[in-house]
Every structure is written in C-alpha cells, then in structure tokens.
Structure 1
Amino acid sequence: MDTGDVFDANCPTRIVLDRIGDKWSVLVLLSLAKGPMRFTGLRGRIGGVTPKVLTQTLRSMEQDGLLTREVFAEVPPRVEYTLTDLGRSLHEPISIVAAWAEDNVNEILKCREQYA
C-alpha cells in the first residue's frame, strides 16, 4: 500500500498519526510497556479515563494491531492486555515524547500564563 503524502487529506498515514496523537492511546501504551495488565489495573493507572473511553481505546488499539486481548477461562473470567511487537516498537518514540513533555511542562505552563 502506498502511504503517499501525510499532508494529503486522503493519506492513510493519518490514521496512524490519529492513534499516536490520542492521549489515552499513549497512556495505555506507556502503561503496558512493563507487561500485561488487566482492565482495572489500566483504569487505576491512567487517571481520569472513564471505563467507556478506556474500552473504546483498547478496542481501537487492538484493531490497529498495537495490543492483544487475552481472555482466560477462569471464574470469574480474567482478561489481560499485552503490547504486540508493533506496539512495543512504538514505545521508544512515545516514551521520548512523554519524557520531553515532563521535562518541559513548567515552561509551557509559564508561556500559557504569559500569553493570557
């Protein structure tokens, strides 16, 4: 498939940019970097996300091939989410952006305050 030009409105690469530009997807990816997690663990780790939004994010990331959902035949059923190789390959660039954000948040907040 030809990826074309990311600046073209019809370029399929924009689908990927939408996924990695979504804050919930980024936080899920960073959370799963250390290993599999259950839904409740992810929800507890990622402050402020509603169950509905987390479910939608997990489904989208699974559809995009970034994570897998494994259901264990137990009572009660146990479900774990794990990054795929593709998802793990995205961890390094995302973690660099996250570190940059943490390093520069005070400067950005200062600039916002001065702008107002």
Structure 2
Amino acid sequence: MKTKEKIFSKKSAPEKSARMVETIYGCKWSLTVYQLLANDINRPGAMVNHVEGLTTKVLNECLKRNVEFGILERLTFNEIPPRVEYQVTKFGQKFLRILDELEKLQLELEADEN
C-alpha cells in the first residue's frame, strides 16, 4: 500500500505580527490615537484634551507600545519647554492599511449576521 506524500505543512500564525495585532487591538486607545494623528493632532497634551476619558498615563503607555512596534515615531524638539510629537512611520502606514482591511472584514461579518 502506498503512503501519500504530505504536500502541505501545518501553518501557524506569524508570531511577531500576531502579537502586535493583539496588543494594538487590546489597547482600546490605539485606534483613537491613529485617528488623532490622521487629523494632525500629534502632541500628547492635545491628544488628552481632545478625547474624553483618555489619561496621560494610559496615553503614554499606548504611545510607548506603538513606538516599540515601529508603528509610530517619537519626535523630540530641542526647545524650552520641551516639545514632543508623534507621527506614523512608513511601516505604520502599512500596518494601518491592514487594520483598515480587518475593519472591513468585521463589517462584512456583521452584515452577514443580519
């Protein structure tokens, strides 16, 4: 009796990118931060002032994670008082397009349920 040769191997989720998506979606403020940046609100103080319920501590944790993943870049200006701004990196732009596609998929799933 011939044994069939295995053609496909088990595919697992990409570890780093899966963890990144889980972390970003797990932080309820990340998507809000992306919206603020898209509207040219890129200073942490302004972000806190524009969003009810967002605290400086939570925002700083969110921004730090996004910088660590390479989605956002922290810009420091040598001024008095010091000024800090954030912007989306080239990688971050690609990542945000993926998040947009996930949102479209979610909307399709919700439409199918109704």
Q: Cα distance 1:24–1:68, how it changes in 2: closer, same or farther (>3 A)?
A: same
CA–CA distance in structure 1, aligned partners of residues 91 and 41 of structure 2: 15
Q: Cα distance 1:66–1:13, how it changes in 2: closer, same or farther (>3 A)?
A: closer
| Partner residue, 1:19 | 23
Q: Cα distance 1:61–1:16, how it changes in 2: closer, same or farther (>3 A)?
A: same
Is 1:42 matched with 2:51? no
CA–CA distance in structure 2, aligned partners of residues 37 and 12 of structure 1: 27
Corresponding residue pairs, total: 96
Larger RCO of the pair (alpha carbons < 8 Å, separation 6+)? 1
Q: Deviations over 1:10-56 (max 9, x none)?
A: x3333122133122111111211244611111112232111111000
Opposite residue 47 of structure 2, the aligned amino acid is: L
Partners of 1:30 and 1:95 within 8 A in 2: no
> Percent identical across equivalent pairs?
28
Return 20-29 or 61-70, whichever deviates more.
20-29
TM-score by length of 2: 0.67
CA–CA distance in structure 1, aligned partners of residues 84 and 50 of structure 2: 16
CA–CA distance in structure 1, aligned partners of residues 38 and 73 of structure 2: 13
Runs of 4 or more consecutive aligned structure 1 residues displaced over 6 Å after TM superposition: none
CA–CA distance in structure 1, aligned partners of residues 54 and 23 of structure 2: 16
Pick from 33, 37, 49: which aligns with 1:28?
33
SS class of match (1:23): coil
Is 1:6 matched with 2:10? no
* Pair member with larger Rg: 2
How well do the aligned residues superpose, as a CA RMSD in angstroms? 2.7
TM-score by length of 1: 0.66
